[in-house]
Every structure is written in C-alpha cells, then in structure tokens.
Amino acid sequence: MSGSGASTGTLRSRVLVIAERRLPALTRLRALESLPIRLHRRRIYVLPSAFGVGFAILLGVMQLGALNYANNPAMLLTCLLAAAAWMSLFVGFRSLADLELVSVSASACHAGDLAQVSCRFATSPRARPNLRLRWNGIDSAFALAADTAGKHMVSLPTERRGWFRPGRLRLWTDQPLGLFVIWSWLNPDVAILVYPAAETSAPPFPKGSQGQAERASAADGDEFSGLRDYRSGDPQRRIAWKASARHESLLVRETERLVDDDLHFDHTALAGLDGEARIRRLTAWILAAEVARRSYTLELPDQRFGPGVGDSHRHACLRALALMPDAA
Amino acid sequence: MRLDDRQFNLVAASALIAVAAHLPRLPLWLAATLVLIAPWRMWSRRRTAKPISAWLRVPLVIVLVSAIIVSYGNIFGREPGSALACGLLMLKLLESEKVRDARAALGFAAFVMMSALLFTQTMGFTVLVCLSLILLLASLNALQPAPIERRHRLASELRIGAALLGLGLPLAIAAFVFVPRLSSPLWGSPDAFADARTGLSDRMSPGSMTELLIDDSPALRVQFEGEVPPSAARYFRALVLWDFDGSSWVREDWLSPQTPESVQTTGAETRYEITLEPTNRPWLVSLDVPLQAPENTRMTRDRTLYARNRVDQLRQYRVRSVLRYRLGASIEPRERERALHLPEGFNPRTLALARQWRSERRDDAAVMKAALDLFDARFTYTLSPPLLGRNSVDDFLFDTRAGYCEHFSSAFVVLMRSAGIPARVVTGYQGGWWNALGNYLLVRQSDAHAWSEVWLEGRGWVRVDPTAAVNPARIEAGATATRSGQAWYSGSWLLEIRNRLDVINNLWTRTIVQFNALRQKSLLQPLGIGNAEQRDLLLTLSIMLATILIVATIWVMRSGRSQGGDSLDAAWRTLRRRLANRGLPERADEGPLDYLKRIKQSWRADPVLPVLEELVQRYVELRYSRGSVEVADIQAFARRIREFEPPRAVKTNRNRAT
C-alpha cells in the first residue's frame, strides 16, 4: 500500500459504488426523483458522529467507575446521561423525518457565477431548528419555523453553460446534541439553465448591416405596446405624457429608440474565434446592448432571434447560446 | 468557528457547576481560584478575541499539578485526584475556543460531576447533580449552529435538556436497575470513597464531643420489632472507657478477647435492627445492654460490639437487647483495680472531697447520692462550656460548673473512683426521634451522650447518668430540647422538618444507595427467578431496553404518519373528527361553508352553534385570506378548537329542539 489515505478513499468510493448498484432502494443515490420529495422514515439514516463515539466511550468509563465503586448515585447519573444522549437520536430523527422539499428554482446565471438556488419546503407543524444541506460540495445551514413556509437559498458555483444539474443533495442534521448524524440523500430532478460566460473585455459592437433597420421598424410597429416605467436618465422627449396621465407613474415609449439603429450579432461572422469564444463574445454583446437598451438581432447557424430588446428577448438569445452544441 | 459569548458562557456555567459539586472538599485557595477562572474568562473573551496562548496554558497546568502535590502531598488518591480534575476542567475552559473544545470540556464536566457523587451520596446532592445535567445538555444544544436568530434561546435550550432527561428517564431507570452489579470490585477497594462522618471517638476529653453534639446528620436508624422503648430508656451503648490520664478518657485494649460480663435479665427482650451510617471506625452501637453479638461482630467484655472491619459503608445488623438487667455479678481484682485507678497528682480538691464523703458515710449508695446531689442548681448544662485547666475535674466541679454530658460523667466517675467505688465512662447515643411515618427511630450525631457505670456489690454495673440530675430534659425529651439559645437556622422547627424529611432520606439510602449485587439477585423473584444470575439480569435488561426503544420508535413513526399540512390543517381535522363523532361527518364534495350550512340545518337552535359558526368562519379566513397569517393566530385558533365542545349527540339535540 502506498498511502493509507488514498487507499481508504478508493475503498470507500468502491463500497459506495457497490452500494449504489446493489441497493438502489436503500441508498437512492442514483435515480432522479420528481418533486415534491418527502423524507419518508425509511430513507433517513443515522450514525453516531465522532463526538458521539467519544461520548459513548466516556459514558462507558463513567459506568465502569460507578460499577467498580458500587456507587449507585454515580451510576444513576451515568444512566440518566446515557439515556438522554440516546433519546437525542429520536429527537434528531424527528427533526428530519417528514420534511418535504416542494420545489427547487433558480434564476438563470452565467457560467462561473454562483447560481442562487431556492429550495422551498412544505409548511409543517414541527419546527426544525437546525438543518444542514450539502449540495455539490457546498455546505449551508438553515432552519424551518413551525407553520411557516420554509425557503432556503443555496449558492452553487457553476462552471459550464447549458443545463446545470446539481445532482443529489444531502440533507442532514446533528440535532440536538451533536451526538448523532442523521441524514438523507435527495436527488431532485432539477436542471438550472446556465448562460454562457460573457467575454470580459469584448470589442465594440459590430457595424450593423443594411436592410435590418426597415425590418426592425416594421417589427417595432407591431410592438408598440412597449411602454415602460420611467427610469432616471430617460430623455424627456420619450415620456408618453398622455399615457402617464392615466397612470400612477411616468411611462416611457419603448419603441421609439429601437428604430434608431439596429445591432446585428452574427455567429458565423466571428470566424476568427473558436466556438466557445464566439459564444462568450456574443453574450458580452447581448449584455452590453441590453445595458445600452439598443435593439439587436442574434443570428445563429440555424436560428435567428430579433430584432428586439428586453428581458424575454435577452433570455431567448442567451438560452439559445447556452444550449448551442459544443463546437468541438 | 469561534464560540460566541452565549455558547461560551453556557459551557463555562456547566463547568462551574461541576466544580461546585466538589467545592466543599477543595482547599480554600484552589476553590477560590477555580471559581474565579470562569467569570474572568467570560469577561476577557468579551474584550478580546485573542485566544490564550499555549505559553500561558502549559505553565498553568504545571503550576496546578505542583500546587496540588504541595497541598496534598500526592497526586493520586481521591482527594488530590478530584482537585486535579476540577483544576484541569477549569483550565480546559481557557482553551475552549471551538465547538470541538467546548464539547470535550462538557464531556469532562460530566465526568467531574460523576466523580463528585463518589464522595457524597445523599439524596439532595444526587438530585441536584442530576438536575444540573439539564444545563449540560442545554450547553451541548447551544453548540449547534443557529441559522435563525431566535428569542428566548436559553429557555428553549434548557427545555430541550429537560425534555431529553425526561424522555430518557424510563431507559435510565431500566438500565440502573438491571445493569448487573459487580460482586467484587475490578480494581481498588470500594471503601476508598466511603462517605464517612466522624462519629464517636474512643478518646474523650473535655470539649471533645462539642463538634458531634452540633452535628445534625443521622448516626443510626433503628427499627423495633415490638414495642418502642420510651425515650428515657433509649441508651445506645457504643464504647466503655476505662482509663483516665488526667485529661482524657481512653480505652486501649478493647480488642482483647474475653467472655462478656454476665447479664441477668430482669425485663423483656427488645429485638431491633440498626442501620448504622458509615463511621470508618469498627465499633457498633446497640441498646444498653446487648445479649448477643450479631454476625461478623464481636462482643467485648464490657458488652460493647465491634465489627471485624471498619464500618465504611452503611451497615445493617439485628440485635437483641434487654433494657432492664443486672450486669457483671462479679468483678475480677484486675478489673476492680483498673476501675479505681486515677492518675497521680491530678484533681486534689475532688480527691479530698470524695475522701471526706467516704469518711462521713460508709455506704456506697450514700456516697453516690452525695455526688449526684452535688450536681444541683449551681451547675448549668451548656454546649459551649468554658475551658478547663490541668485539673479539669477540679475546675469543673468547683469553678466553672458548666458543661455537658462529657463533663458530668467524667467528673462523676473521678469522684466515685476517689471514693473507692469502681466506675467507668460509657459513651454512645441517647434518645432519638421517633419517625411515625417511617416507623423507625432516627438517632442523630447530636444525640451523642456520655454516662457512667458504677459497680456495686450485689447489683453489678449500675448505669448512673449525672447529666440527668442537672438537665432531666436532655434525657426525657432528647438533645434538641436543650438547645434553646441556638441560631435560628438550627432552630427546633427546622430540625423538626428535617426529622420528618428523614423518611425520604432513609428510603433513598435503602433503595438507591444500598442497592447491590445481592439485592439485584432477588429482583426477579416476582417472575419466579429466585436467584437471578447475571445472564438473567442482562436478558431482562435487553428486553426492557428493546421495549422502551420500540415505544420510542413508534413515537417517532407516528409523527411520520401525520396527514401532512400545518397546524391549521391539524386543528381543522380535529374539529371535523369531533363533529364526525357526533354523527356529522364532512362529505367529500363539501367545502367548509357548505358543511357549516348542513350542520346548521341539523342542529337548529343549539347554543353552541354560534361558536361553531365563528370557528368555521375563522378557519376560512385563516386558510384562504390573502394576507400573511401569524403563527400566534393559528395557535390561538387551535386552542379554541381544542376547547370547543360539540353537543353530546344529534339525537338529544333534536329532543331538546322539539
């Protein structure tokens, strides 16, 4: 054996692999589960923690001492402490049993950012003062109060664009004394869309090609419903005064500006770059165009989006970019 | 993660309580230092987040160990061992900065608490130590991360600690009763930790009994088989002191094997069982005068009992005594000489007085009467007598004239010997408090007494109690009657309460402290196993543990079978179930309001109908309103549901309506 640490590590993982293969019903590690997931008692596991083992040894020593000196009060104390420690298992079990994960949702993020994943748990009459969650190597602690809808946000790091499947998560607790670790594996069927990362110092927008503007204005005509709330910095001439008069706040005509100049982002035009770099640049341009609130069109090899601007357009474009097949 | 102040303070408080259980036994300097460490560290942690460096901690451990060696002369043994454990626990606090350290400190605190019980096993102390486990468990709970900021955290932590202790009680009791006791210790000897009080001493000098006479702890308990002798006849004989060296009465040869002095009974036998508190001395106590030595004891020539080993644990023995007797029909010349011996050059005035009496009166009885008459109104009975000089008897008889039983009996015996009458001092206990509830006699250390015996031709050794001549109340009503000028806290009312509470103490001692391998063997007798082996006990223990664990598991599983939803749903279910029990189950196609409508038709003008209507409306409001609902509202609603009492049955309502 070269290194004991490495060998135990591989042994452990091998045992896990065997367990997953042989006892899928027991471990439930592999199969995806559809939400909501309720933690049935049969899928909750308990083992003493390291502290629990140490505490048991201490109790054994105390018991032996009390027995040896035939000292019944000391024996009584030891028995009480041992019984309380043992009962803490049941209390801890109760704080995990019947927990119900209702939904998992996440707002989209860019690769490399932290995905803010929100887990919602069903209301239950039982308070769960201390729960831990380990998901993709990220530990977090949270608590659920009784009779209130519980929500817990986890920040998961993302690496690649596309569908991010955080995989199985471990819900655990060592309530109330830290003597026992009580845990359950959940493998919710969750996929989070991860937008491509944006190129950090992208070059300015490409020059828009002719003929796009007319098409854009025609499209704008259809979209005249685009009134939006006034933001500081909007020029006064764009304020739709008549519409604003009937409304609580100032409204701004959205469409007017789109006609000005239309941007055209073409995937195939970026021949000098490799696939991922192209996607990163297009992403950077889209974000920049959104910031500048300029209309843009995204041209992909087999798809075309826009022209347009706004959240839904941006999402459609970024989603298409995120889901583009790998160039290699 | 560094412990926050709250967590640290709780851990420190637990450690402090564990050390407090040892405090009375620790030397003052150590006790004061240890008690101050915890608050000091609490304070200093608040000022700076810097941990205490090992450069300070390691020397402190060395200082502690060497200070204990200097103070006790040893590091092993129970006293220095417990002092060391307390010291190390407090020093552990200095390095407890992480959850891991804090947990180790708490585990060690539990050990220190347990070791305190090796010294003191009274019920009150044991209960206190067991209750302090609540704090220990609460501290362990406080070490858990708390993602939500909550109010009343300490209360909830203490509640968890108490709940765990309460839940564990059946398990603990089963384990306590059925874990097989060892019939012999694995190491050391069990008496190393005996909780012995200093009882009667085999040396008596003026003032030596004072400490005993103000000690209210129990000395022995007596259960009589027949009639209970009156207080004035309850003389418990422990030691006979023969030899006077001018200042103290001693006996040196109490182990010499000789046939006991003869006893001629003139009254009925008294049979009784004595439970003697540990004294760490070999002598036993029996009613004056015992007829036979119980098992494993011997009887001395002057009819006192002693055990083969020191009484280092509670000891029970049965004795037969006779209260009216004639003791020692004849006296050997050697004994007579010893009973007349007085040291040269002591107490000349007493000697002169006795010789004068002897020359005036021939009769022994007359001399005795003269001596008892001497103890008249000029003498006072007091527990705080003035100090006596070299000629202690002279000083007492002619100058101070104040003292207690010790002084009186000593002076009387010296007078008798001076007059040529063989006499000796007997010490023991007198009186006691009859506990009607527990049906036993409680004798406290403060009932210690000393009296005299004189040998008269034809009558043998006759008991004479000179104290009774001065203070008859001491003999008639017991030792407490003589204590009027004491402080309020040792007043008689308090003693009265303590006397009554002694029933519980006695029960505690008999059932818990004295529970041993022998008693455990007879535990399974109701099941038909007369002499339970370890195997049987372990089997019973396993069965009981399994039963308890199954019950606990069912408790957890039941909660797992809940029908889901929150407390509001549960409350609503309760209401529906109650109504269904009254013959009005909800139909699947009904909402709450339709359901209410149907109930209205069925109940018509029932007086509880408006209440129900309000409850249903409230449920709808809470369940379906858009605004956020406070938890307190739901709880209040659930409480009202519980209090709601639907009419007995639909049928009676109809009758009422018509």
- Whether the upstream peptide bond of residue B250 has omega within 30° of 0, thus cis, is no
Three-state secondary structure of B257-295:
CCCCCCEEECCCEEEEEEEECCCCCCEECEECCECCCCC
The pLDDT assigned to A3 comes to 40
| A112-151 burial: b if 16+ Cβ within 10 Å, else e | eeebebebbbbbbbbbbbbbbbbbbeeebebbbebbbebe
Name the minimum distance, in Å, from the CA of A215 to any CA of chain B: 46
Sheet containing B423-430: order of strands:
B263-265, B325-327, B460-464, B448-456, B423-430, B235-241, B286-287
For strands B448-456 and B423-430, give the pairing.
antiparallel
* Residues in Cβ contact with B267 at an 8 Å cutoff, skipping those fewer than 6 apart: B322, B323, B324, B325
Chain B (512-551) residues lying within 8 Å, Cβ to Cβ, of chain A: 512-516
Q: What percent of chain B has pLDDT over 70?
A: 90
How far apart, in whole angstroms, are the C-alpha atoms of residue B18 and residue B32?
15
Chain B residues whose CB is inside 8 A of the A87 CB are 164, 167-168, 171, 552
Candidate from B63-67, B108-112, B560-564 with smallest mean pLDDT:
B560-564
Position A185 pLDDT exceeds 90: no
* Residues in Cβ contact with B110 at an 8 Å cutoff, skipping those fewer than 6 apart: A58, A62, A81, B18, B133, B136
A177–B141 C-beta distance less than 8 A: yes
B165–A84 C-beta distance less than 8 A: yes
A174–B141 C-beta distance less than 8 A: no
Give the one of A69, A78, A94 whose C-beta lies nearest to B185's C-beta: A69
Give the one of A54, A58, A94 whose C-beta lies nearest to B111's C-beta: A58
With 0-12 / 13-18 / 19 or more C-beta atoms within 10 angstroms meaning exposed / middle / buried, residue B37 is buried
For chain A, say whether B144 makes contact (Cβ under 8 Å): yes
Cα separations in angstroms, B403 against A162, B248, B443: 102, 15, 22
Highest mean pLDDT among B37-46, B107-116, B375-384, B572-581: B107-116
Name the minimum distance, in Å, from the CA of B498 to any CA of chain A: 21
Instruction: Please answer whether residues B299 and B260 qualify as being in contact, where contact means their C-beta atoms are separated by less than 8 angstroms.
Output: yes
Candidate from B184-188, B394-398, B448-452, B538-542 with smallest mean pLDDT:
B184-188
In 3D space, the residue among B349, B352, B351, B353 whose CA is nearest the CA of residue B373 turns out to be B353
Beta bridge partners of A150: A121
How far apart, in whole angstroms, are the C-alpha atoms of residue B345 and residue B354?
15
- Dihedral sign, CA of B549, B554, B560, B564? negative
How far apart, in whole angstroms, are the C-alpha atoms of residue B14 and residue B113?
10
Name the minimum distance, in Å, from the CA of B162 to any CA of chain A: 9
B115–A80 C-beta distance less than 8 A: no
Dump pLDDT digits (tens) for B483-508. 544 444 445 667 677 777 778 877 88
What DSSP string runs through B288-349?
SSBSS--TTEEE-TTS-EEESS---S-EEEEEEEESSEEE-SS--HHHHHHHH---TTS-HH
The pLDDT assigned to B321 comes to 92
Position B471 pLDDT exceeds 80: no
Position A6 pLDDT exceeds 70: no
Beta bridge partners of B299: B305
Position A257 pLDDT exceeds 50: no
Position B199 pLDDT exceeds 90: no
DSSP state of B53: P
Share the mean pLDDT of chain B.
Answer: 83
Dihedral, CA of residue B280, residue B284, residue B287 and residue B291, to nearest 10: 180
Position A243 pLDDT exceeds 60: yes
The pLDDT assigned to A30 comes to 62
Share the mean pLDDT of chain A.
Answer: 80
What DSSP string runs through A83-94?
HHHHHHHHHHHH
Name the minimum distance, in Å, from the CA of A244 to any CA of chain B: 30
Chain B (594-633) residues lying within 8 Å, Cβ to Cβ, of chain A: 631
For chain B, say whether A98 makes contact (Cβ under 8 Å): yes
The pLDDT assigned to A7 comes to 53
pLDDT band at A1 (very low <50, low <70, confident <90, very high): very low
In 3D space, the residue among B587, B579, B655 whose CA is nearest the CA of residue B616 turns out to be B579
Query: Which ipTM did the prediction report?
Result: 0.74
The torsion region of residue A137 among left (phi > 0), alpha (psi -120 to 50) and beta comes to left
Tokens of A199: 């190129």
A124–B566 C-beta distance less than 8 A: yes
B contact test, residue of A77, A99, A101, A154 with most B CBs within 10 A: A77
- Dihedral sign, CA of B191, B193, B194, B196? positive
Would you please indicate which residues of B are annotated as catalytic (active-site) residues?
A: 405, 449, 465
Q: What is the pTM of this model?
A: 0.69
Dump pLDDT digits (tens) for B251-286. 766 556 678 888 888 888 899 999 888 888 888 999
Dump pLDDT digits (tens) for B427-445. 999 888 888 777 888 888 8
Query: What average pLDDT does range B437-455 have in this prediction?
Result: 87
How far apart, in whole angstroms, are the C-alpha atoms of residue B529 and residue A4?
53
Three-state secondary structure of B446-511:
HHEEEEEEEEECCCEEEEECHHHHHCHHHHHCCHHHHCCCCCHHHCHHHHHHHHHHHHHHHHHHHH
DSSP state of A223: T
Query: What average pLDDT does range A280-296 have in this prediction?
Result: 86
pLDDT band at B11 (very low <50, low <70, confident <90, very high): very high
Name the minimum distance, in Å, from the CA of B186 to any CA of chain A: 6
Position B328 pLDDT exceeds 50: yes
Position A25 pLDDT exceeds 60: no
The pLDDT assigned to B197 comes to 59
State the Cα angle at B218 between B217 and B219, rounded to 5°.
Answer: 115
For chain B, say whether A50 makes contact (Cβ under 8 Å): no
Query: What average pLDDT does range B132-159 have in this prediction?
Result: 88
Chain A residues whose CB is inside 8 A of the B553 CB are 90
Q: What percent of chain B has pLDDT over 90?
A: 21
In 3D space, the residue among A316, A59, A38 whose CA is nearest the CA of residue B563 turns out to be A38
The pLDDT assigned to B147 comes to 76
Query: What average pLDDT does range A191-196 have in this prediction?
Result: 89
- Alpha-carbon Rg for chain A, nearest whole angstrom, is 29
Dump pLDDT digits (tens) for B551-588. 888 887 775 545 666 778 888 888 888 888 877 777 77
Chain B residues whose CB is inside 8 A of the A41 CB are 556-557, 560
Secondary-structure breakdown of chain A: helix, strand, coil percentages, each rounded to the nearest 5 = 40, 25, 35
What DSSP string runs through B167-182?
HHHHHHHHHHHHSPPP
pLDDT band at A105 (very low <50, low <70, confident <90, very high): confident
Query: What average pLDDT does range B446-465 have in this prediction?
Result: 90
Chain A residues whose CB is inside 8 A of the B169 CB are 80, 83
The pLDDT assigned to B556 comes to 76
Chain B (630-649) residues lying within 8 Å, Cβ to Cβ, of chain A: 631, 634
What DSSP string runs through A177-206?
TSSEEEEEEE-B---EEEEPPPPTTPPPPP
Q: Where do we find the tokens 């009459």?
A: A125
The pLDDT assigned to A28 comes to 55
Question: Which has more confidence, B34 or B514?
Answer: B34
Number of alpha helices (DSSP H) and beta strands (DSSP E) in chain B: 23, 20
| B353-382 burial: b if 16+ Cβ within 10 Å, else e | bbeebbeeeeebeebbebbbebbeeebebe
Tokens of A13: 């993982």
Query: What average pLDDT does range B66-82 have in this prediction?
Result: 84
For strands A109-110 and A227-229, give the pairing.
unpaired
DSSP state of B523: G
Give the one of A71, A75, A93 whose C-beta lies nearest to B556's C-beta: A93
In 3D space, the residue among B423, B364, B419, B415 whose CA is nearest the CA of residue B393 turns out to be B415
The pLDDT assigned to A211 comes to 41
Chain B (66-125) residues lying within 8 Å, Cβ to Cβ, of chain A: 99-100, 103-104, 107, 110-111, 113-115, 117-118, 121, 125
In 3D space, the residue among B207, B235, B218, B211 whose CA is nearest the CA of residue B427 turns out to be B235
Instruction: Please answer whether residues A297 and A305 qualify as being in contact, where contact means their C-beta atoms are separated by less than 8 angstroms.
Output: yes
For chain A, say whether B163 makes contact (Cβ under 8 Å): yes
Q: Where do we find the tokens 């059925």?
A: B178
Chain B (187-216) residues lying within 8 Å, Cβ to Cβ, of chain A: 187-188, 190, 192-193
Name the minimum distance, in Å, from the CA of B34 to any CA of chain A: 23
For strands B402-403 and B380-381, give the pairing.
parallel
State the Cα angle at B278 between B275 and B280, rounded to 5°.
Answer: 140
Give the one of B103, B129, B148 whose C-beta lies nearest to A143's C-beta: B148
Give the one of B137, B148, B188 whose C-beta lies nearest to A177's C-beta: B137
Tokens of B472: 């008859």
Query: What average pLDDT does range B441-463 have in this prediction?
Result: 89
Helical ranges in A39-71 per DSSP H: 50-68
The alpha carbon of B554 is separated from its chain's Cα centroid by a whole number of angstroms, namely: 38
Position A83 pLDDT exceeds 60: yes
Chain A (175-204) residues lying within 8 Å, Cβ to Cβ, of chain B: 175-178
